[in-house]
Structure 1
Amino acid sequence: MSELAEIKVRPLLPERGALPLLVEAAEPGMGLLDHFDELKDLVAQHLDQCGGVLFRGFDVGGVAAFRQFADAFGHPLLNYEFGSTPRSNVTQGVYTSTEYPAHQSIPLHNEQAYSLDWPMRIWFYSVIAAQTGGETPIADSREVYRRMPADIRERFASKRLMYVRNYGNGLDVGWEQVFNTEDRSVVEAYCRAHHIEWEWKDDGELRTRQVCQAVASHPWTGDQVWFNQAHLFHVSNLPEEVRESLLEIVDEEDLPRNVYYGDGTPIEFEVLERIRAVLDDCAISFAWQEGDVLMLDNMLAAHARSPFTGPRKVVVAMAQGYSEKHR
């Protein structure tokens, strides 16, 4: 264990490796913002190596102070644009975590890895810890890449992935919420700028297609990472009865979301199951404590959500946008 100005630093789960690094106040109630310079230095020293830092035992000071903490790292906080899940704005640059029912789990994923643009930094603040469950499991994306079967890794890297989304119709988030506008011309301008194909369907709803990376190279460390949401977007992620019910009322091309190889050919169900098995093996889970703040490098660490009971409130901030299309 090392100490810096009464701040304790050690791996939270040493048997699982360096992720996440625990940065703990020596005494309860130390102000998070009061020690920002020291904490920022620790992040600079360790985040590229461990992928995530958990700040525990500090007095965060509430959502507004959490926002100030994330913003102080020097990059303006990002709006949740081209999102794929329902969220609510809490304050400028701070959002609720995904508003799915408590009984549902959310698979491991890197934020917005289904696009060519994503945040490099993401923060989670546990305002209210669930009565049971509600963890935010994480995984080292470098380890996922290394453990992925070579045939899948090579096929995904060469073919890339095509994400197909159909918005609205009571089945998924409406395009107005995803693009934060009711103006079709604004949507079309966004799609042009981000290499997204779009079409307005006869019912007035929107369909988009975008070909994106399946693996990526971290721009600063050079590490190869598994970086996509194929297992989450693919229709096989739905429970079988839900999938069958949906396909009784819509054609496959009208499913709320689905993913194919970049050339438009189907991804085999068996391949997705093998991918999910690797992700499950790499998952690292720990219980939230109220006041915890988790900071992740969004390319080096994936995150998820476990089912829970009782009230739970985790808010999220993102920063340092990165664009694969400009590499």
Structure 2
Amino acid sequence: MELMGNEHTTIAVTPDVGRIRESLTEHGAVLLRGGSADVDEFERFVRNVGGEPLKYTERSTPRTSVTDAVYTSTEYPAEVSIPMHNEASYSETWPGVLFFLSVTAAETGGATPIADSAAVYRLLPELVREHFEGGVVYTRSFRSDIGLSWQEAFQTEDPTDVEVYCKKHNQEFEWTADGLRTRHHRPAYQDYRGQRVWFNQANLFHASSLSPDIYETLMEVYGEDGLPRNAYLGDGSPIPAEDLEAIKTAYDEASFAFPWEPGDILVVDNMRCAHGRQPFTGKRRTLVSMTAGLI
């Protein structure tokens, strides 16, 4: 099966690397069904199709390393939805291709919806696009008692490593009594393969992605500057609530979801397609690997 936005066509897919690459280039995402849920086989597949896997650096969500090249998908509670996003689009560097392996499918729910990023851009009202012409400002506050610590996020115990990374990637940083705060600016969209694609994580980083009770508690305890994550328009002003609602509506309209089966592998062009996660019941185990692109 090959997937793109809301359209899908069922075909007989074989582990033919050339055909997988051609299909990914044409459609933006490819689903291979009927394979093995073996992690070692998955890693070999990733290397054959995408080359050397990337390390998960500048982390924004909790994950566990299964091997040096394979990670668990974001470890959020089952009842929580993960908003649509392009992986690491908040960073100066991001993976070109994502590989998902379904080891255990959820009892109900748990799909990984994907959305055509160019369609999302086209569906947004012109006023929203204008608001985001200046990009997105991402802020993060790292502490040991909530969210990711800076040690986990940057995969180091050395503050100097963090400072070098931030300076290299144009991030402002400030050491605090609680840990670390960072602030950096990124574009909201990119031109890719002849199309303009919506490519950011403003909706996911923004405090409105939190449940109201959690948001109120965090604001009361830490204040706006101390929120684990937040997002602003490029000039530093707040993102209007109606803009965030328009972004969600565009993602909803452009997205497509399918139920996982054990052994499924989903290959995604990270700039062509955003992805998310639906709430679920029962056990669910989905693994992820990332590469710079196709070899």
TM-score tier by shorter-chain length is over 0.9
Moved over 6 A (4+): none
Q: Return the alpha-carbon distance in structure 2 between the equivalents of residues 89 and 12 of structure 1.
A: 28
Q: What is the identity, as a one-letter code, of the residue corresponding to 1:105?
A: S
1:17 is aligned to 2:7? yes
Paired position in structure 1 for 2:143: 168
Structure 2 unaligned residues grouped into runs of 5+: none
Query: Residue 110 of structure 2 contacts residue 279 of structure 2 at CA under 8 Å; is this kept in 1?
Result: yes
Paired position in structure 2 for 1:82: 58
The correspondence of residues 135-284 of structure 1 with structure 2, limited to 5 A, is 135-156=111-132, 158-203=133-178, 205-218=179-192, 221-284=193-256
TM-score, scaled relative to structure 2:
0.94
> Match for 2:73 among 81, 94, 97?
97
Paired position in structure 2 for 1:7: none
Paired position in structure 2 for 1:309: 281
Q: Return the alpha-carbon distance in structure 2 between the equivalents of residues 174 and 93 of structure 1.
A: 22
Q: CA deviation at 1:241?
A: 1.9
Structure 1 unaligned residues grouped into runs of 5+: 1-9, 26-34, 323-327
Paired position in structure 1 for 2:18: 41
Deviations 1:31-90 (A, max 9, x none): xxxx64x2x2113322122110000113x3610110110011252101110010000000
Give 3-state SS (helix, strand or coil) of 2:74's partner. coil
Query: Residue 102 of structure 2 contacts residue 260 of structure 2 at CA under 8 Å; is this kept in 1?
Result: yes
Q: Return the alpha-carbon distance in structure 2 between the equivalents of residues 264 and 65 of structure 1.
A: 46
Query: Residue 116 of structure 1 contacts residue 213 of structure 1 at CA under 8 Å; is this kept in 2?
Result: no
Paired position in structure 2 for 1:29: none
Q: Return the alpha-carbon distance in structure 2 between the equivalents of residues 23 and 195 of structure 1.
A: 45
Paired-residue identity, %: 44
Q: Return the alpha-carbon distance in structure 1 between the equivalents of residues 293 and 62 of structure 2.
A: 20
Paired position in structure 2 for 1:51: 28
Q: Return the alpha-carbon distance in structure 1 between the equivalents of residues 4 and 205 of structure 2.
A: 30
1:69 is aligned to 2:41? no
Deviates more, 1:71-80 or 1:296-305: 71-80
Question: Considering only CA atoms, is the larger Rg found in Structure 1 or Structure 2?
Answer: 1
